[in-house]
Amino acid sequence: MNIKTFLLVQVRDRTTHYRIWVLAAPMMLSNISIALLGLIDTAVIGHLANPSYLAGISLATVLFDFLYWGVTFLRMGTTGVVAQIYGSGDAPRVSAILRDAMIIALTLALLMLLARHEIRDFGLELLDGSIIATIHASHFFEIKIWGAPGVLATMVFIGWLIGMQKARVAMVLVALPCLVHAGLDLLFVVGFELGITGAAYASLITAYFSASLGGWLVVTELRRHTSAVTFAWQWRSMHRLLTFNWNIMLRTFCLIATFAFFTRRGASWGDTTLAANAILLNFQMLTALALDGFANALEAMVGRSIGALNRTRFLAAVTLGMIWSIIFAALFVGLYAFFGSSLIALLTDLPELRAEADRFLVWAIIAPIVSVWCFVFDGIFIGATKGREMRNSMVFSTFFVFLPGWYLLQPLGNHGLWLAFLMFFAARGASMAWYFFKIERRDGFV
């Protein structure tokens, strides 16, 4: 079968289209709700009297990105391993993976709380924001960090549910806390006029609401498989999870370091540029969380296909997941091209901040079609538990593309920073594509 015939067969495969959308649609809606929550946070803080408030939130957000994005392997690793076990039909082991992941999550949360002052001081010094923005960021961090156990436990619950092909249940766990957070934001910041303190307490309360809801949903799901539940200790199970998670953690720290460097360089040009970049990054975050819906679907479908040793299902999932991701990336390009300035105006009423964000809007318009490949291959490689390849791709893109690119593009200022940022996404997509075809030619994923 030639490539053209193969693609036609896959495109006409209604069953796989359906499976992708059953998994992707709930996660896409829930992921977009997260981005909308970020936009609500930005809009609420962005309408306060001074850009330094939003700048402070931006600095604190980078610190939490290091902490929480750095441990997203709790979600990714759990999804990939559980999906493969579920596909293989070894139902009892999925409960053991849940236990192992939760032990790791709560241990890491405890370490974060014990080292909270050192993390805050080192991070804010490294980011080098203005004095007033740093003060706001420090205050926000001191309150929100106490939600770490709830946040990390929720990551495990979401990953386990996606791996079990329960995207609709995972959607509830993501979307409902977002609505609670938005309501608390408006109540504390606008209603009680608590400013950044109110935003921090809204995040803290939401963290434990999410964990409580996630625990209830997962226990409910486990009761449906009572005969298949086992919590018997197996070092092999824990070792597999730790090995995969270690590579994902290193990969994620490179990703966060890139975002942190991006934010720090923006901060060096003043609070207005820092805040403008924060607004435009919300556009990219909206794109990322929407496309992550298809990535989440690929994680579950690829993992299950590999576990079941079903190559036909694997190829169908990869092909259609890629097609739908590209379609949606193109839609986001159109959205930002036609309505980008209007979206900026919704997020802030400060004239100088609107003007600064409009200057660099072109990069947010281009970003979806450049970065879409990262999300597609992330979904494939997580489902296939190929952590080493993901790590190597990220190291290459960070240290051999982004940083050298920024060094050479410094004369262009913030435009050069954004160009280097998109070069980073392009390098990730290209290097992971190279790994994909290398693995396919050598051994095949299935």
Per-domain boundaries in the chain: 3-442
| 235 vs 166 pLDDT, higher one | 166
Asked whether the predicted pLDDT for residue 228 surpasses 60, the reply is no
> In the prediction, which pLDDT does 42 show?
63
> In the prediction, which pLDDT does 67 show?
81
> In the prediction, which pLDDT does 72 show?
78
Confidence of residue 380 (pLDDT cuts 50, 70, 90): very high
- Average pLDDT on 378-393 reads 92
In this predicted structure, which of 125-129, 180-184, 288-292, 377-381 has the lowest mean pLDDT?
125-129
Per residue in 328-372, pLDDT (tens digit) is 999 999 999 999 999 998 877 788 889 999 999 999 999 999 999
Q: Is 208 exposed, middle or buried (0-12, 13-18, 19+ CB in 10 A)?
A: middle
Structure tokens at 143: 């309150």
In this predicted structure, which of 23-32, 132-141, 413-422 has the lowest mean pLDDT?
23-32
- Average pLDDT on 412-432 reads 96
| 100 vs 152 pLDDT, higher one | 152
- Average pLDDT on 404-416 reads 94
- Average pLDDT on 242-260 reads 83
In this predicted structure, which of 71-85, 125-139, 261-275, 301-315 has the lowest mean pLDDT?
125-139
> In the prediction, which pLDDT does 286 show?
83
Per residue in 252-308, pLDDT (tens digit) is 888 888 988 898 888 788 878 888 898 898 888 888 888 888 998 898 899 889 988
CB atoms within 10 A of CB 59: 27
Highest mean pLDDT out of 11-15, 46-50, 124-128, 186-190: 186-190
Alpha-carbon distance of 300 to 317, in angstroms, equals 10
Taking all residues of the chain, what is their mean pLDDT, rounded to a whole number? 84
In this predicted structure, which of 23-27, 249-253, 382-386 has the lowest mean pLDDT?
23-27
> In the prediction, which pLDDT does 146 show?
94
pLDDT more than 70, % of the chain: 87
Measured between alpha carbons, how far is residue 214 from residues 71, 137, 155 in Å? 18, 29, 9
Q: Determine the distance from the C-alpha atom of residue 72 to the mean position of all C-alpha atoms in its chain, rounded to a whole number.
A: 8
> In the prediction, which pLDDT does 237 show?
58
Asked whether the predicted pLDDT for residue 231 surpasses 60, the reply is no
> In the prediction, which pLDDT does 208 show?
95
In this predicted structure, which of 55-69, 168-182, 370-384 has the lowest mean pLDDT?
55-69
C-alpha closest to that of 378 among 288, 314, 442, 311: 288
pLDDT more than 90, % of the chain: 34
DSSP string, 148-171: HHHHHHHHHHHHHHHHTT-HHHHH
Q: What is the CA radius of gyration of the chain?
A: 21
Highest mean pLDDT out of 44-58, 61-75, 353-367: 353-367
Confidence of residue 235 (pLDDT cuts 50, 70, 90): low
In this structure, is the dihedral angle defined by the CA atoms of residues 183, 168, 164 and 15, taken in order, positive or negative? negative
| 42 vs 141 pLDDT, higher one | 141
> In the prediction, which pLDDT does 357 show?
92
Asked whether the predicted pLDDT for residue 428 surpasses 60, the reply is yes
> In the prediction, which pLDDT does 122 show?
87
- Average pLDDT on 73-88 reads 83
Q: What's the whole-model pTM score?
A: 0.78
Asked whether the predicted pLDDT for residue 50 surpasses 90, the reply is no
Dihedral class, residue 193 (left if φ above 0, else alpha if ψ from -120 to 50, else beta): left
Asked whether the predicted pLDDT for residue 19 surpasses 90, the reply is no
> In the prediction, which pLDDT does 35 show?
56
